[in-house]
Structure 1
Amino acid sequence: MTDPTIDIRDARVDFPIFDAKSRSLKKAVLGKAGGRIGTESKVPIIEALRDINLSLRKGARVALVGHNGAGKSTLLRLMSGIYEPTRGQAVVQGKVAPVFDLAVGMDPEITGLDNILIRGLFLGMTKKQMESRVDDIAAFTELGDYLDMPLRTYSTGMRVRLALGVVTSIDPEILLLDEGIGAVDAQFLAKARDRLNELVERSGILVFASHSDEFLADLCDTAIWMEHGTIREHGPLREVLHHYKGHDVLAELERR
């Protein structure tokens, strides 16, 4: 079996904005998408990613940091194949599990148990694989009889528990995580972090976009600092976080 790899060369991702009627509209779109507006075309272009060069191999544990709109989510979607590069190349080998929204692939009208199977299929697992994991996921979520009830009866925290139970049960070669964890109580979150660590250990490559320094310190050892759709810095986690935040984040976490 070939080891998972991610190779991106001189990649750029552009989004054309059709029927833009004013500069203010362009600015509004730019503020949400990140990047910058290209002016050489009659159609406004959002340059979401520019000059991306990146090579990741098995064992990579990479944090994506940067302000909102810096290009983190767009880069994850480029890695997952959701976006094709406008220019350059993005070659990904291995089974990718993109976890960008914990709610994606879940149906509010069916039971929690049925949602476990559907969400697992969405993440690339087989029905047989998910059926063998149902009992473990059910025990982890601590939802009990609620698993036989429609998802629409769940609170936000209960939905996050169910989604985390499924996500942390899969066996991906490449795991792409966009932060969506938080609407659960502290005790359960500690339990979830243990399972996330086990998930990362099973993954060939991890790329994790998050604003949580603690999660990044737990799961990653290198980091990419995104700024205005470009990679500003790629290196050891401690150094990149220090440069990005302006202080030694990991040292502060270690003192707690």
Structure 2
Amino acid sequence: MSVLIRADDVGVEFYQSRRRKLSVREMLLQRRTTHRSDKFWAVRHATFDIHEGEAVGLVGANGSGKSTLLKMIAGVLLPDEGTVEVNAGVAPLIELTGGFKGELTARDNIYLTAGLHGLSASQVDERFDDIVGFAGPQVRKALDMPFRHFSSGMQVRLGFSVITTLDEPIILVDEVLAVGDRKFREQCQARMESLLAEGRTLFLVSHNESDLKRFCTRGLYMRQGDLVLDGSITETLDAYKADADG
């Protein structure tokens, strides 16, 4: 199997500034104030390969670097050291409604978002009924309403539906399967299983053990920015739970 994602000694450094509040007098007189800038590595020395058709779960506590690593693979964040190579197209289920424009109708947003991911208007035409059908009857009734008037649940439904209709070989998922009501979660899980059956490659960030075991065979465990384990999803979850209990 070919390597679709390769991370080689990857690191990202962030800056955390701390500045005490200024008094009105200090602001008026422009006096010097105390100021410190602290640096920390959100991710460092992460090295791994993900092959075509693999389903990999990324686990770790909040703040361990999981979402940062996912954003580097998605191409929205550049590493400060090391390299990330992605050798196929990516369907990012990270911020589902991030590319949608509030002033545009839902219908226009479907064509816009799918077009930004490489689909032609005729290809969107062919998939339009499937996209809207998955998003549900509430979305169908409001297709010509500005997107900003949608409820948060309707926005997520439409976002998930559009992104999962793309043909990209790699699917990046960050806690998306935890949103929505029970029926919608079941729809999302069924759609994910269908995509995996087609041979897609999955990189899943989640705290949900049942989802991780359901979809993934391999696990990566992040702890305070370090990749500490790369193994089966079972042994990865066991190590994570042992650390949490300890």
**Which TM-score band (shorter chain)?**
0.7 to 0.9
Greater alpha carbon shift after TM alignment, 56-65 vs 168-177? 168-177
Aligned partner of 2:207 in structure 1 is: 211
**Separation (CA, whole Å) in 1 of partners of 2:80 and 2:196:** 31
Structure 1: distance between partners of 2:10 and 2:185: 36
**Offset at residue 120 of structure 1 (A):** 1.6
What is the alpha-carbon distance in structure 2 between the residues aligned to residue 149 and residue 99 of structure 1?
Answer: 24
Q: Which runs of 5+ in 2 are unaligned?
A: 22-35
Q: Is 2:215 the counterpart of 1:244?
A: no
Percent of pairs with identical residues:
33
Report the more deviating stretch, 190-199 or 52-61: 190-199
Number of equivalences: 227
User: What is the CA-CA distance between 1:240 and the residue it aligns to?
Assistant: 0.9
Following superposition, the deviation at residue 45 of structure 1 comes to 2.0
**Aligned 8 A contact 2:44 2:226 in 1:** yes
**Aligned CA-pair RMSD:** 2.4
5 Å-filtered alignment, 1:104-119, equals: 104-119=98-113
Deviation at 1:11, TM superposition (A): 1.7
1:99 maps to which residue? 93
Distance 1:202 1:122, change over 3 A: farther
Verify the 8 A CA contact 1:172 1:203 in the aligned structure 2.
no
Query: How many angstroms apart in 1 are the aligned matches of 2:3 and 2:66?
Result: 21
Shift of 1:68: 0.9
User: Secondary structure at the residue paired with 2:143?
Assistant: helix
TM-score normalised by length of structure 2: 0.83
Normalising by the residue count of structure 1, what TM-score does the alignment of the two structures yield?
0.80
Pick from 75, 81, 90: which aligns with 1:81?
75
User: Compared with structure 1, are the counterparts of its residues 187 and 209 closer, same or farther at alpha carbon in structure 2 (3 Å cutoff)?
Assistant: same
> 1:3 Cα deviation (Å)?
4.6
Q: Secondary structure of 2:183's partner? A: helix
1:206 and 1:218 map into 2 onto residues whose CA distance is 12
Give the distance between the partners of 2:231 and 2:197, measured in 1 at CA.
21
1:128 counterpart (105, 122, 131): 122
Instruction: Give 1:162 shift.
Output: 1.1
Max radius of gyration: which structure?
Answer: 2
**Alignment of structure 1 residues 222-241 onto 2, 5 Å:** 222-241=218-237
Q: Which residue of 2 aligns with 1:185?
A: 181
Q: How far 1:85 sits from its partner (Å)?
A: 2.3
In structure 1, which of residues 214, 220, 233 is the aligned counterpart of residue 216 of structure 2? Answer: 220
